[in-house]
Amino acid sequence: MIQAATDVITSRRWVKGPESRVFGGEFAHYCGAEAAVPCASGSASLIAALRLLDIGPGDEVIVPSLTFFASVSCIEIVGATPVFVDVEEEYWCLDPHSVADAVTERTKAILGVHLFGQPFSMKLPDGIPIIEDAAQAHGAILNGSMVGSLGDIACFSFFPSKNMAVGGEGGMITTTRLDLAERLQSWVDHGRSNDSRIEALTSNLRMSEIQAAIGRVQLKHLDEWQIRRQEIAALHTQVIEQIPLLKAPKVRTGAIHGWHQYVLYCEHPAELVEHLSNRGIESRVHYSTPCHRQPIMSEHPQHKEGSLPVTERICSNLVSIPVHPLLTDEEISRIHDALHNFSIV
């Protein structure tokens, strides 16, 4: 990564150069998408995806509430209305039955989230564009197809905590549609066409050449990192299935989980987090306040308690434990010993 960054600095081509173009092509090939374009962040990719689908004021976008708030803020930022749906009991992704019930004549897209790396179900209503929020799902697969090629558009984040990164903030937009592929580059570059005419109202959402070069290096290692994440997750599950106080995450039939986070279910999350912290093991609750209950959504009709019962019941009980591919065997054993020793007095 250091050499790749140094090469870009030496080239003096720091923006809008070959690294970004090649990185987009390599990532599209990896996902099996028609095209891909790097951009400034995962959030920027979500906003661009909505704008590419011409979504704005008066439109509705269906979205799960159990997710990081960026999945929702992008909808508000373009002037559309988020319509929250509940999640599945077993897999914690948007529930297809709730989605079907939420569709109205104003529905312009379904924004599904591959939460923690779990691919969401594609058993969704026909005729409505699907946006994949794949910020946590690099390398995940559903029924033989890579995340990033399942819907109309997919949005990835390369924030440093993600399964692959770019040495700072960064994102990627992929698409399976030729009509959108032709517009991707323009949407991250001030709406400019090849002859520099402005054809869309957007802004500078580009990724720098240094970050694209680093991303290309990281992409070459993504598969080996994903294999290691799979190994660690399987070891975690073997241990957790022996502990009555904890419930291991389930993997959807036909899916290969991305394991951005290994998130277990625990009825005593605060005690578990403290127990692990006392043993030098970091953990956290995801996401204790669902999006529809955030203060900024106080005027939203679904803000009231009880509107999404499954989401509200489980949101405070999902605890992540380390699953990073660079964990050593000794560190994994220490995590498992701590889990075995967890008890409620």
Q: What is the DSSP string of 131-174?
A: EEE-TT-TT-EETTEETTSSSSEEEEE--TTSSS--SSS-EEEE
- Under a CB-based contact definition with an 8 Å cutoff, are residues 118 and 138 in contact? no
- pLDDT for position 172: 98
- Which of 122, 113, 120, 46 minimizes the C-alpha distance to 84? 113
Distance CA 142, CA 140 (A): 7
Task: Name the architecture of domain 222-340.
Answer: Alpha-Beta Complex (3.90)
pLDDT in tens, the chain (345 residues): 999 999 999 999 999 999 999 999 999 999 999 999 999 999 999 999 999 999 999 999 999 999 999 999 999 999 999 999 999 999 999 999 999 999 999 999 999 999 999 999 999 999 999 999 999 999 999 999 999 999 999 999 999 999 999 999 999 999 999 999 988 888 788 778 777 787 777 788 899 999 999 999 999 999 999 999 999 999 999 999 999 999 999 999 999 999 999 999 999 999 999 999 999 999 999 899 999 999 999 999 999 999 999 999 999 999 999 999 999 999 999 999 999 999 997
Distance CA 122, CA 61 (A): 16
> SS3 for 231?
helix
> SS3 for 54?
coil
Distance CA 316, CA 295 (A): 17
Backbone angles phi, psi at 55, to 5 degrees: -95, 135
Task: Outline where DSSP puts E strands in the chain.
Answer: 35-39, 60-64, 81-85, 107-113, 130-133, 141-142, 145-146, 153-157, 171-175, 246-247, 255-256, 262-266, 284-285, 318-321
pTM summary value: 0.96
Distance CA 22, CA 37 (A): 9
- Under a CB-based contact definition with an 8 Å cutoff, are residues 315 and 66 in contact? yes
Distance CA 34, CA 136 (A): 21
Pairing of strands 284-285, 318-321: antiparallel
- Under a CB-based contact definition with an 8 Å cutoff, are residues 66 and 290 in contact? yes
Pairing of strands 35-39, 171-175: antiparallel
Q: What is the DSSP letter of 192?
A: B
Task: Name the architecture of domain 2-218.
Answer: 3-Layer(aba) Sandwich (3.40)
Q: What is the DSSP letter of 38?
A: E
Distance CA 30, CA 33 (A): 8
Pairing of strands 153-157, 130-133: parallel
Tokens of 162: 């993600």
Backbone angles phi, psi at 261, to 5 degrees: -130, 145
Distance CA 102, CA 65 (A): 13
Distance CA 52, CA 192 (A): 14
- pLDDT for position 212: 98
Distance CA 202, CA 198 (A): 9
Distance CA 298, CA 228 (A): 42
Which amino acid type is present at position 338?
A
- pLDDT for position 193: 75
- pLDDT for position 84: 98
CB within 8 Å of 102: residues ≥ 6 apart: 62, 83, 85
Domain ranges of the chain: 2-218, 222-340
CA 49 to chain centre: 14
